[in-house]
């Protein structure tokens, strides 16, 4: 970190919008609840970048017009959230191979003639897990869900060297489709689809479990995909992609049966940091990352 960056880290600048201020933002529906402005505007302040980040609600069927409008307005970059992470791909000039393989884009970076799409969710999750001492290489994993988020997690597990991933989903056919896609794209036959209710067929052992569904998201805080104690006795570490509430029912059950449990706030943090690094061609220090995390954490006090 340079002397100027150290000074900014101690004394973040007050935002002053002017004619040179670059703009980034978030498109999705809804976006009113987002914590992304806190991440990016805090980073801009700490690093001394003249950048402002704002959310843009985009109505159904408005993605193409939103991306074209952002390009016309000179917007530096965009994040993309639900429900547009796949739909936005058709609006891009380029796409990163990882995002193409996952089939979802959450970050747009301005390039010649348009925007290039990236997926920072996967690497954000990986950084978050490693920050908690969780490694994927050689792990036996239970993955709950087969939707867009779970698909990205399955891909992450495969490419980072997980030994086996048991993908549990209410609809077996959907899990099988995702497993076939991920196994085919990664060249590793490691994703094993299974109906949720058949979890007892998973071989005896202790597993890393990743909760990749929206079950338990606020305000439905007492909902959980699986309630039975026998399931949680299989888990040494549980990682829930949800961060609101701070402690989900899934996390409570993992801890009640002797496991460690973490929520998805650090995933949100690191996927945002990677996007910020792409937009600004910079590297965010762990000191600055943890300072932003501390600010995010206060939202759940």
Mind telling me the catalytic residues? 85
Tokens of 212: 């990749």
Q: Identify the H or E element spanning 64.
A: helix 63-72
Residue pair 142/175 in contact by the 8 Å Cβ criterion:
no
Residue pair 181/167 in contact by the 8 Å Cβ criterion:
no
Q: Identify the H or E element spanning 189.
A: none
Distance CA 285, CA 263 (A): 22
Phi, psi (deg, nearest 5) at residue 85: -65, -25
Q: Identify the H or E element spanning 71.
A: helix 63-72
Cβ–Cβ contacts within 10 Å for residue 10, how many? 8
Distance CA 149, CA 34 (A): 17
CA 129, 132, 134: angle at the middle one, nearest 5?
Answer: 55
Distance CA 216, CA 8 (A): 38
């Amino acid at each position: 970190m340079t002397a100027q960056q150290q000074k900014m880290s101690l004394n973040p600048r007050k935002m002053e919008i002017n004619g040179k201020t670059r703009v980034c933002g978030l498109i999705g529906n809804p976006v009113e609840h987002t914590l992304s402005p806190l991440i990016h505007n805090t980073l801009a302040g700490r690093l001394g970048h003249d950048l402002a980040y704002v959310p843009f609600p985009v109505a159904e069927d408005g993605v193409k017009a939103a991306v074209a409008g952002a390009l016309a307005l000179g917007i530096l970059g965009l994040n993309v959230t639900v429900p547009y992470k796949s739909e936005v791909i058709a609006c891009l000039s380029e796409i990163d191979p990882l995002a193409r393989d996952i089939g979802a884009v959450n970050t747009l970076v301005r390039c010649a003639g348009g925007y290039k799409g990236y997926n920072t969710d996967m690497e954000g999750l990986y950084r978050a897990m490693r920050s908690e001492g969780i490694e994927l290489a050689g792990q036996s994993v239970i993955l709950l869900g087969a939707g867009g988020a779970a698909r990205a997690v399955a891909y992450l597990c495969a490419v980072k060297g997980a030994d086996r991933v048991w993908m549990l989903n209410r609809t077996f056919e959907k899990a099988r489709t995702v497993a076939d896609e991920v196994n085919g794209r990664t060249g590793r036959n490691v994703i094993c689809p299974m109906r949720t209710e058949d979890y007892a067929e998973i071989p005896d052992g202790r597993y890393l479990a990743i909760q990749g569904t929206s079950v338990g998201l606020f305000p439905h805080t007492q909902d959980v995909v699986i309630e039975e104690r026998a399931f949680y006795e299989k888990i040494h570490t549980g990682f829930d992609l949800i961060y609101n509430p701070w402690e989900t029912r899934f996390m409570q059950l993992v801890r009640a049966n002797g496991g460690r449990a973490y929520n998805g706030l650090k995933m949100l943090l690191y996927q945002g940091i990677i996007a910020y690094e792409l937009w600004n061609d910079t590297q965010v220090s762990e000191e600055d990352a943890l300072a932003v995390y501390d600010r995010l954490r206060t939202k759940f006090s």
